[in-house]
Amino acid sequence: MDILHKYFPDLTDDQKEKFERLGDLYKDWNAKINVISRKDIDLLYERHVLHSLGIAKVEQFKPGAKVLDVGTGGGFPGVPLAILFPETEFYLVDVIAKKIRVVNEVVKALGLTNVKAEQRRAGTFDERFDFIISRAVTNMPDFVKWIRKNITKKSNHQLSNGILYLKGGDLTEELSAFPKAHQYNLSDYFEEEFFETKKVVYMPLKYKL
């Protein structure tokens, strides 16, 4: 938890309590259903929670905003962001049922009323969102194809509506077809070695009928 206080010193008491409970909840559920690698579970707050919150260093979601988390796995980045932005609506989807079960159990235990999680495949539904977030579920060209129709028309944030994508490494080739994509280095915000090559890729997307 110290690492969260270091970078997010203005958390409310309720947010602190929820973040503190995350560790035990995920350790308990991970022992039953493996959604986080064994080596990472002891580094949950750095490699999963803080990594997820890197998106918040790029954009602050507003009350009433709608955010879609595609391929959420065990609930990252959606669950930590839902704690940080309690007035924003988060919709978490993954194709693997057991992972969504873990997400729903964690959400229920924390009393998060701004999260809905379902077993669904991206590209199979028409709901629209201000931002679509994810953590390296596939390459960017395929991801854009999956979710292009899910962007809402009106922008209300500092950044125009679009994708906020957690990725690592050299993305030059992968993003060559997207000249409007912008890479934010998480090492500019977090000093831990883990974040040296980690990025938030932002790409605006226009509403599409």
Q: What pTM was computed for the model?
A: 0.96
Which residue shows structure tokens 């969102």? 129
Instruction: Give the Cα separation of 91 and 96 in Å (integer).
Output: 15
Instruction: Give the Cα separation of 70 and 205 in Å (integer).
Output: 16
Amino acid at 88: T
Per-residue pLDDT of the chain (209 residues), as tens digits, is 799 999 999 999 999 999 999 999 999 988 888 888 877 888 999 999 999 999 999 999 999 999 999 999 999 999 999 999 999 999 999 999 999 999 999 999 999 999 999 999 998 999 999 999 999 888 899 999 999 999 999 999 999 999 999 999 999 999 999 999 999 999 999 999 999 999 999 999 987 76
Cis check: omega of the bond before 179, within 30 degrees of 0: no
- φ and ψ at residue 134, rounded to 5 degrees: -170, 165
83 touches 19 (CB < 8 A): yes
